[in-house]
Amino acid sequence: MNNDDLILKKLDITDLKSLIDLQDKIISDLKVDEQHFILHRTASDFLNALESKSMYVFGLYDGDRLVSQSILSLPHDNDHREISEFLSDTPNSELAVYKAVLVDPEYRGRGLMKRMLRTREEAAILNGRHIAITQIAADNPASWINALRYGMQITKVGFDPEDNAEVIYLQKRLDGKVDPKIDMEQEYAMSLGNDIHHQVPILFNKMQKLSAEGWIATDIKVADDGFKLIWHPKEEAQRNHKQIKVPLRRAAHLELS
């Protein structure tokens, strides 16, 4: 079946069972040490999202079968929003919070995650939001690589204050503006290797160091030895260049070990 035949729908309480069934199927398909990639939502969690005035729950149906779902949160300024530790100085009303996209294992590789990202972005822009943000587990590289491919940038790497899990924070401007503080002339290409999952502990430490120094991961590229994560410094990285072992003009040879 062509992806164009899948029906996009804003879900409501009549879709509750389909949401639970899809989540259960995806979790059961994951390895035990990967099941934390998915937030295990209860029926009450889904019901709250479906009835919320500040959330959109989107789904893709193949006939009467839900094959993908995602949640977009559009918090109000007086709300306590999720991942409030990220961009805490930005008013809620400027932000769109992307939650995980779930795709039926039988429908992977068909671009459904990208379609759901596009759907949420269009809804966020329509509602006047300027920045999209998300948080992804560091050991779930498939998801943060997909987010980078869709134009999001890694601007913070650290630990979730709720459970101390290693997480990647990403954001994307929805108003078309480019951050003038990013120096695109200087670049560091960080190899992710051919076995990203095995390298995650080392990669997380390197990414956290770069982020703390004021570097932004803006792109992901494919090389002969695997993916390369492209980083550029912001002004604060240049001001703090003495903390980095080599001059910024030699950023391509930056040592992070």
At 30 the pLDDT is 75
CA distance 103 to 99: 13
pLDDT of residue 2: 59
Query: 196-212 and 141-149 helices cross at what angle (nearest 10)?
Result: 60
Q: Which residues contact 214 (CB under 8 A, 6 or more apart)?
A: 233, 234, 235, 236, 237, 238, 240
> What are the angstrom distances between the C-alpha of 146 and each of 48, 181, 193?
28, 25, 17
Helix, strand, coil percent content, the chain, rounded in steps of 5: 35, 30, 35
What is the pLDDT, as a whole number, of residue 255? Answer: 39
63: left (phi over 0), alpha (psi -120 to 50) or beta: left
- Angle (CA) 116-59-52 rounded to 5° is 100
Give the mean pLDDT of the chain. Answer: 87
Per-residue pLDDT tens over the stretch 157-185: 999 998 899 999 999 999 888 887 889 88
**CB-based contacts of 185: which residues, under 8 Å, 6+ apart?**
none
User: For residue range 236-249, what is the model confidence (pLDDT) as tens digits?
Assistant: 666 555 444 433 43
- Domain ranges for the chain, please list them: 3-177, 181-257
Question: CA-to-CA distance for 46 and 44, rounded, in angstroms?
Answer: 5
Tens of pLDDT, residues 192-212: 988 888 888 899 999 999 999
User: What contacts 108, CB < 8 A, 6 or more positions away?
Assistant: none
* pTM strictly above 0.75: yes
Mean pLDDT of 23-51: 81
Give the distance, in angstroms, between the CA of residue 48 and the centroid of all CA atoms in the same chain. 22
What is 3-177's CATH superfamily?
Answer: Gcn5-related N-acetyltransferase (GNAT) (3.40.630.30)
